[in-house]
Amino acid sequence: MSNEDKTKPSLDTAKNLFGNLTSAALNLKETKPKVFYGAVGGVALLVLIAVFSGGESRPAVQQYNKQALAVGQTYSLKSPNSYDPNSTIRIVPAPGTLAAYDDTEEADRTGTCQHFPQGTKVKVLRLQDAFDTANSFAEVSIEGGECNGKTGWVLSIDLQ
């Protein structure tokens, strides 16, 4: 038996199945039009959801690898949580007080030696553990600029 002979029965079966489904759908359309059009609408809705629900080309969330910091070493300030290269990083007087500051006042945002641009060189003076995480905060000294020697605390993830 050749391949053509083997595919002939399956082709006939497929044609019969398609014919049966078509006649059943037309019969349903004539006898119960609400059910028929509801099913057509449901299938169309599923197709629309499938078409519009995927394929977005959003960048994957970048995971930050926390590096081991060493006291006495010089690092650059860099916020891994910001895509804006012009964003600043705040230096605070005590570890863990970042959330206590309200930057709604203009003086809080423009005051000297509070916010530093990314890339500012700092030297780590000491490290502080918090929330069961080793070295969560770092006390740093600003290296260069008008705030040279000013000390304060930053999140350790802001040092690279």
Strand partners of residue 128:
137
Measured CA to CA, the distance from residue 150 to residue 160 in angstroms comes to: 19
Low-confidence ranges of the chain (pLDDT < 70): 1-8, 55-66, 96, 98-111
Measured CA to CA, the distance from residue 73 to residue 48 in angstroms comes to: 56
Domain locations in the chain?
Answer: 3-52, 74-158
Listed in sequence order, the DSSP H helices in the chain are 3-31, 33-52, 106-110
Q: Determine if the pTM surpasses 0.75.
A: no
Each residue's pLDDT tens digit, 2-24: 555 555 677 788 888 888 888 88
Measured CA to CA, the distance from residue 109 to residue 102 in angstroms comes to: 9
Indicate the DSSP class of residue 144.
S
- CB-based contact 76:120 (threshold 8 Å): yes
